[in-house]
Amino acid sequence: MPVEQGKSTKRIIIAIDGPAASGKSTTARIVAGQLGYIYIDTGAMYRSVTLKAIRQDILDELKRSPGSVDVLLKEISIRFDGDRIFLDGKDVTEAIRENLVSREVSFISSLKPVRDRLRAMQQELGRQKGVVMDGRDIGTVVFPDAELKVFLVADALQRAKRRYAELASKSAGLLRLPSLEELEQEIRERDRADAEREHAPLKKHPEAVEIDTSELTIDTQVSKVYDLALARIQDDC
Ligand code: DC
């Protein structure tokens, strides 16, 4: 049930950061629905840029010469419509979840021109407030003044199990379902790359509320974040 958006109800920005498969997207989507807010999955935006690089077959060139990323960014449009994401006008919601994209997205998201462009788009999307945005740098870089910042963590094996279950439930579109070990390895590798990169690395903002979701059900995660959000909305009225 969306929160009553009466005159006195202030709309806030909720930033949810954390490592891969920590439950950010599911939690953020449900909380946004409960509050009547929009939900922005910024990982999907980095995945879309990565998919564009794969489709243009320029990944190797970018790895040799990262400066050439401007060609990729010159003409790009990324648009959300409900749960769907459109890259240059085409629905890429499923394509951005392919394993090849997951393997290459840390490289693409380490490039400063990519981060600068996507940060500007994200700030524009959140300008009107009433938004739940999840990613790696939302509380630290994109919206450091967000009224509520949440940092979700969970142990790597638990996260790999969740990703495995998610992929298995959608495996019809995949060429090959990765093993649990492969997924855990990929998650650990991505954690390392996201936390160690030079620009906007994954880290907890000092004001962020940390929630360890290893042993939590989705319902519990959601209600913790929802309660925090209500408290901030009431504080800010
Ligand atoms: O949330 P996800 O696993 O779909 O994100 C994919 C990748 O995108 C992640 O490994 C790092 C990058 N990313 C980022 O650098 N900054 C964000 N705000 C969101 C995602």
Domain boundary assignment for the chain: 10-236
The answer, yes or no, to whether any atom of ligand 1 lies below 6 A from the CB of 137, is yes
Among 54, 109, 114, 123, the mutation site with the greatest number of ligand 1 atoms within 8 A of its Cβ is: 109
Q: Report the atom number in ligand 1 closest to the C-alpha of 122.
A: 18
Alpha-carbon separation of residue 99 from 54, 70, 106, 180 (angstroms):
12, 25, 12, 13
Q: Is pLDDT at 2 greater than 60 in this prediction?
A: no
Measure 234 CA to ligand 1 centroid, in angstroms: 31
Measure 134 CA to ligand 1 centroid, in angstroms: 9
Q: Is pLDDT at 234 greater than 50 in this prediction?
A: yes
Q: Which two tokens stand for residue 234?
A: 């009431």
Among 226, 237, 228, which residue's Cα sits nearest to residue 35?
226
The answer, yes or no, to whether any atom of ligand 1 lies below 6 A from the CB of 194, is yes
Q: Which two tokens stand for residue 70?
A: 């401007």
β-sheet with 78-81: strand ranges across: 78-81, 84-87, 90-91
The answer, yes or no, to whether any atom of ligand 1 lies below 6 A from the CB of 191, is no
Among 22, 125, 136, the mutation site with the greatest number of ligand 1 atoms within 8 A of its Cβ is: 136
Q: Return the residue whose CA atom lies nearest to atom 2 of ligand 1.
A: 43
Measure 42 CA to ligand 1 centroid, in angstroms: 7
At position 61, the amino acid (one-letter code) is: E
Measure 215 CA to ligand 1 centroid, in angstroms: 23
Question: What is the reported pLDDT for 102?
Answer: 87
Measure 46 CA to ligand 1 centroid, in angstroms: 6
Task: Say if residues 143 and 126 touch (Cβ distance below 8 Å).
Answer: yes
- Would you give the end-to-end CA distance of the chain in angstroms? 19
pLDDT one-digit tens code per residue, 57-110 = 999 999 999 999 998 999 999 999 988 999 999 999 999 998 899 889 999 999
Task: Say if residues 150 and 225 touch (Cβ distance below 8 Å).
Answer: yes
Cα 37 from Cα 57, distance rounded (Å):
37
What percent of the chain is modeled with pLDDT above 70?
94
What class does CATH assign to 10-236? alpha beta
Question: What is the reported pLDDT for 10?
Answer: 85
What percent of the chain is modeled with pLDDT above 90?
80
Cα 207 from Cα 210, distance rounded (Å):
9
Q: Give all strands (DSSP E) within 24-167, no chain letters.
A: 38-41, 78-81, 84-87, 90-91, 131-135, 148-153
Range ranked top by mean pLDDT from 3-17, 170-184, 222-236 = 222-236
